[in-house]
Structure 1
């Protein structure tokens, strides 16, 4: 028997060591250090204030018009009832906000109930009668204020009236026609003196010039009209002067307190919404607190607008 031959020994092959994988180095910008707490608070407060200011502008130019339209419906119903019952006030002290007249001008589709008073809060409902002047249809110069943009802008088109146009006003003493004399602004000649026993109607609003035109009025404009026919007597007891807040382009500083109170409620609503979001979840929290926040925003906006000029 032959001897078995052993298999030749295989040489050991040493594989070169594979270096570990190293991702390509990318230059990364250094991380910015986080903003300090006070800076974050200032940024958040600034953003919140800006959003709140934008909301107030949106409210004044848009949503407030719906409120004014509803107020006009209520005032018109009150005026009709008072005229039918012969209880419409025609002189003496009249509470601000009381409907005193209906003004119409066909050329510009003007038809609004006029309330007593010209403070910013009074003019939310419509045109206002300055309390130290006679009522429409009475002897003397009757002055009516109206907003140009906010709360529906009831007087936004009165500057389109032309000499000879007719303005009709209905009060508890009857219906009176006025013929438009013209439009004037600060620095223009004043209308002539009224003849003894004559009557005049002056409509007052604001207008914007240049880039402010149409949305941010900043100067006063007037429309003068002369009463056609015999004026009615003015009962005694009218005011001989009005507070500064009732003058043209004035705000009402008394509205500052309600603004502060509404803002406090708004902050509490926001804090409550944040707390509820952590406890209940986002959907449930905002379902509950959205109406609360919107209501406080509405109230704060109504009050804040009264701080602005009353003819805007």
Structure 2
């Protein structure tokens, strides 16, 4: 007996396709950030990281590399002043900003052969202890005032508060060598009151952090002074203790723009050229510009910091 299988009839060619059931609508909710959002987040993260690196680099410059810069200036100034003292041409009156004037020794602080420069603004004190231009030179009749940094650029006056009554201070200028003896102390709110006619006053900041006050140490000249030099010039606002050199702000802006331009050129070159070669080529340029940015930023800080 033969078995037959019934086949279902095929649909007609022009028959409409069966309709699919409608997909239920999704509930409204927060959308995940797309590629544009991720780029924004990544850019912000890079900017924050770069800012943190620059700030840490500035702190490293102030607390470490600024001392090397000051040591270089001191070595150059000492060689210049030694030659002038040997030829009897060292300044005994007003001099140019930053010019070496005297050699300072304070054994109790471990300070030896520190060169004192003319001027007390921020840039002058980057070179070493500074002589306030409107006061007499050490060894001359009157009150000579010297400023020094407490934390940065070698911190020559870091231990000033450790000086005791009776400690000696030796200063050599174009008029000879002079010895002072510490005898008084003061601060910004309590100036030193001493009736001695020939004195030396040392001033610095009152804190290792950003100083808000001053420390003053007074010393009397032992022996007779030498004659006065030419009339002293008037002090400028940047010569005062804790003053900031606001004139460094335009220079800081220009150096910052130059640094930004150099970084952009470096990144563009790295994409079009061999990356390692581009970084190696531009690294010295970027480093030099960054150093100039930090130096001008440091001039905006209190001059005795």
2:101 alignment partner in structure 1: 100
Which secondary structure does the structure 2 equivalent of 1:169 belong to? strand
Which secondary structure does the structure 2 equivalent of 1:35 belong to? helix
1:231 aligns with 2:230: no
1:174 alignment partner in structure 2: 176
1:110 aligns with 2:111: yes
1:249 alignment partner in structure 2: 242
1:204 aligns with 2:189: no
Q: How far is the alpha carbon of 1:186 from its aligned partner?
A: 3.0
Aligned counterparts, 1:1-312, within 5 A? 31-33=32-34, 35=37, 43-91=45-93, 93-111=94-112, 112-188=114-190, 190-194=192-196, 198-208=197-207, 214-239=208-233, 241-312=234-305
Instruction: Provide, for residues 1-39 of structure 1, a one-character-per-residue CA deviation record: whole Å limited to 9, x for no partner.
Output: xxxxxxxxxxxxxxxxxxxxxxxxxxxx98445537766
Instruction: Provide, for residues 222-253 of structure 1, a one-character-per-residue CA deviation record: whole Å limited to 9, x for no partner.
Output: 111011111112123211x2111111111111
- Taking the aligned partners of 1:268 and 1:137, their CA distance within structure 2 comes to 51
Gaps of 5+ in 2: 1-29
Judge conservation of contact 2:210–2:302 (CA < 8 Å) in 1: no
Q: How far is the alpha carbon of 1:44 from its aligned partner?
A: 4.1
Gaps of 5+ in 1: 1-28, 209-213
- Taking the aligned partners of 1:221 and 1:76, their CA distance within structure 2 comes to 27
Q: 1:32 to 1:39 in 2, by over 3 A?
A: closer
Q: How far is the alpha carbon of 1:104 from its aligned partner?
A: 0.3
Instruction: Provide, for residues 187-235 of structure 1, a one-character-per-residue CA deviation record: whole Å limited to 9, x for no partner.
Output: 33632233xxx31000010021xxxxx3443321111101111111212
- Taking the aligned partners of 2:285 and 2:191, their CA distance within structure 1 comes to 52
Alignment size in residue pairs: 274
Q: How far is the alpha carbon of 1:278 from its aligned partner?
A: 0.9
- Structure 2 length-normalised TM: 0.84
Which secondary structure does the structure 2 equivalent of 1:308 belong to? coil
| RMSD of Structure 2 on Structure 1 (CA) | 2.0
